[in-house]
């Protein structure tokens, strides 16, 4: 893998680059060979545009996200601010509880601010959070959406709960701190969202 490639997944390639001498990240969606071009190209254009809109709306909602420097919708490219801080995934297991509690409550606050504006991240894991300048930046809104549905908000939080259980099995108590932050800042009925999480957990058990 070339040195400038940060990550290569099924949906996109992230490459470190520059924008007017500023460090930047280029996110390019990967064309799918199993889809005909007449379908694939408009789909890539649409998803690129939608992700950019979600990032912009998240910033307007007060959630720390990378700046968008440029967009090439046709080729499925987003040029984003490079965040030099570590992923939460890489540091969480080694933090003291006092620091952890503060970080987790900030995570909960950020999720609440997204949900207050009906913004769904779609893949809230500790891999998609960067810790920089005491802030928690949310990245990768590629699976995100905008909806008023309570189910989507419950799923958003349930994905993070599962991430704690699988990736941070010694720190599963952290999710309760996330919910503390969420309850404090969510302007809707947080109990209704929590009930959705419980329902999703039960559905998973009985599959």
Which ranges in the chain are annotated with CATH 1.10.510.10? Answer: 88-205
Tokens standing for 206?
Answer: 């009985």
- Whether 123 is a known active-site residue: answer yes
49-53 mean pLDDT = 97
Read off the pLDDT of each residue in 57-85 and give the average, rounded to a whole number: 97
Per-residue pLDDT, 207: 46
Looking at per-residue pLDDT, the higher value among 32 and 71 belongs to 71
| CATH superfamily, with its number, for domain 88-205 | Transferase(Phosphotransferase) domain 1 (1.10.510.10)
Quote the mean pLDDT of the chain.
Answer: 93
CA distance 159 to 153: 10
Every domain range in the chain assigned CATH 3.30.200.20:
5-81
118, 123, 156, 180: which is the annotated catalytic residue? Answer: 123
Percent of the residues in the chain that have a pLDDT greater than 90, as a whole number: 80
pLDDT at 206: 53
Domain topology for 5-81: Phosphorylase Kinase; domain 1 (3.30.200)
Beta strands, E only, the chain: 5-8, 12-19, 22-29, 68-72, 77-81, 119-120, 129-132, 135-138, 145-146
Residue 49 tokens read as 């545009």
Within 13 A of 51's CA, how many CA atoms are on the CB side?
31
Instruction: Look at residue 33 in the predicted model and tell me its pLDDT.
Output: 79
């Amino acid at each position: 893998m070339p040195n400038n490639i940060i990550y290569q997944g099924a949906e996109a390639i992230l490459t470190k680059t520059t924008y007017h001498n500023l460090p930047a990240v280029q996110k390019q969606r990967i064309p799918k060979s199993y889809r005909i071009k007449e379908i694939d190209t408009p789909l890539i254009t649409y998803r690129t545009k939608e992700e950019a809109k979600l990032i912009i709306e998240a910033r307007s909602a007060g959630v720390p996200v990378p700046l968008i420097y440029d967009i090439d919708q046709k080729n499925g490219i987003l040029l984003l601010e490079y965040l030099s801080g570590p992923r939460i995934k890489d540091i969480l297991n080694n933090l003291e509880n006092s620091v952890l509690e503060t970080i987790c409550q900030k995570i909960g606050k950020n999720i609440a601010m997204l949900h207050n504006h009906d913004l769904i991240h779609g893949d809230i894991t500790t891999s998609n959070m960067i810790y920089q300048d005491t802030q928690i930046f949310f990245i990768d809104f590629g699976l995100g959406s905008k909806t008023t549905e309570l189910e989507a908000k419950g799923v958003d939080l349930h994905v993070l709960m599962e991430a704690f259980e699988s990736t941070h099995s010694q720190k599963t108590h952290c999710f309760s701190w996330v919910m503390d932050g969420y309850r404090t800042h969510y302007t809707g009925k947080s109990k209704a969202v929590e009930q959705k999480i419980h329902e999703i957990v039960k559905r998973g058990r009985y599959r």
